Amino acid sequence: MTRRIALGWRTWITATAAALTIAGLMASCGPMNGAGGSNGQRQVVVYSPHGVDVLGDYERRFEEAHPDIDLQWLDMGSQEILTRVTSERQRPQADVWWGAPSTMFAKATKQGLLAAYRPTWADAVAASEHDPDDYWYGTFKSPLVIMYNTNGNDAQTAPQTWDELLDPKWRGKITIRKPLVSGTMRTFIGAMVLRAESEDAGIDWLRRLHEATEAYMENPQFLYDHMKRRADLVSVWLMPDVVLQRDRNGYPFGFVVPPQTPVLTEGIAVLAGAPHEEDARLFYEFVTTQEALAHQAEAYGKMPTRQDIAQASLPEWMRGIEIDAMDIDWAAFEEREEHWCKRWDEEVYRAQ
């Protein structure tokens, strides 16, 4: 029987507790980097923040195409993945890292945590959407949006800009995913600093947002459930995830794309020292074919980076959407992200 570990949406745990918890699971289920899975199958282990819908679906699809391979996955936040992969560098437990902002993959590359691999479709993505030495490649473009509950607001009454979130009318009606473990929210913190006149002004803007925020949610599923229960709430989140929860899971969610919104490039990589490197590449290619990316666009709202995907194979809403993307030097962003998040933690979150 395939073993699934999906802690990211079920419980909040610190990085240390996570390591202890997974160690216990591994002891009871068998080593994740063992020679084979159930019935002598080969194994592939995937770390991903894409959630149980996507991971469960592609576990089934991959195993149907490759019945001799047992796919295992661990669902958790992007920063949690980076922390975990770093702690496992001497004895890697996973094979593939599927999903996280490009800045996280850039950090992992600098730390020697990724293995170079040039996929068969490498020439179909822009130079800015992959590592120049093939350590990671972009799979999806994910704009940040303002998410709202459609039972209480619509596309006209919800906040239209980032600054409108600071309007007194939204005070106590903003809920946010806990930022420091989330690559998405870490990107949001950095982007709000960059758009300000100065770093201090950006931190002040984030402080005012914090003062208007009624709660921080420990993981995405808690965020969705909390917003579903309160019709007046708004949040900041990834557009594809809002679409997924709306169209696939029936949550009453809509979104507004603010002007000058950050657009994350989410990537995929084979991990350095992957215990099952050949099969890791097989999975890498499987989830990034034209057919797979078209399916992920239709079923999960994922906007592919590959430029050779036929527009007719994408959902209609995706073909017509207009996004005013914030111009960000992502290499410089990655250098400063940790500093900005540290200031947010010390001067905003812990200061009150």
Residue 27 banded pLDDT, cuts 50, 70, 90: very low
Going by pLDDT thresholds of 50, 70 and 90, the confidence category of residue 285 is very high
Specify the domain boundaries for CATH 3.40.190.10 within the chain: 15-141+264-320, 143-262+325-349
Q: What is the pTM of this model?
A: 0.83
Per the listing, tokens 């902002």 go with: 101
Residue 181 has which token pair? 């473990």
CATH of 143-262+325-349, one of 3.40.50.150, 2.60.40.420, 2.40.240.20, 3.40.190.10: 3.40.190.10
* % helix, strand, coil for the chain, step of 5: 45, 20, 35
Residue 242's region, left for phi above 0, alpha for psi from -120 to 50, else beta, is: alpha
Tell me the CATH class for 15-141+264-320.
alpha beta
Q: What is the pLDDT of residues 44-64, one digit of tens each?
A: 999 999 999 999 999 999 999
Other Cβ atoms within 10 Å of 333 Cβ, number: 20
Amino acid identity, position 94: A
Cα 11 to chain centroid distance, Å, stands at: 17
Report the number of secondary-structure helices (H) and strands (E) in the chain. 12, 11
Residues contacting 117, CB < 8 A, separation 6+: 134, 135, 269, 270, 281, 284
pLDDT at 40 over 80: no
H/E element, 184: helix 183-194
Do 101 and 263 touch, CB atoms closer than 8 A? no
Confidence (pLDDT) at 322: 85
Tell the burial category of 163 from Cβ atoms under 10 Å away from its Cβ (0-12, 13-18, 19+): middle
DSSP 8-class letter at 346: I
Segment 88-99 shows an average pLDDT of 97
Model confidence band, residue 321 (pLDDT cutoffs 50, 70, 90): confident
CA distances from 154 to 146, 157, 253 (A): 11, 5, 9
Tokens 């420091």, residue located: 180
Distance between start and end Cα atoms, the chain: 48
> Which residues does residue 304 pair with via DSSP β-bridges, in sequence order?
140
Least confident of 4-8, 110-114, 285-289: 4-8
Q: Give the whole-angstrom CA distance, residue 313 versus residue 188.
A: 30
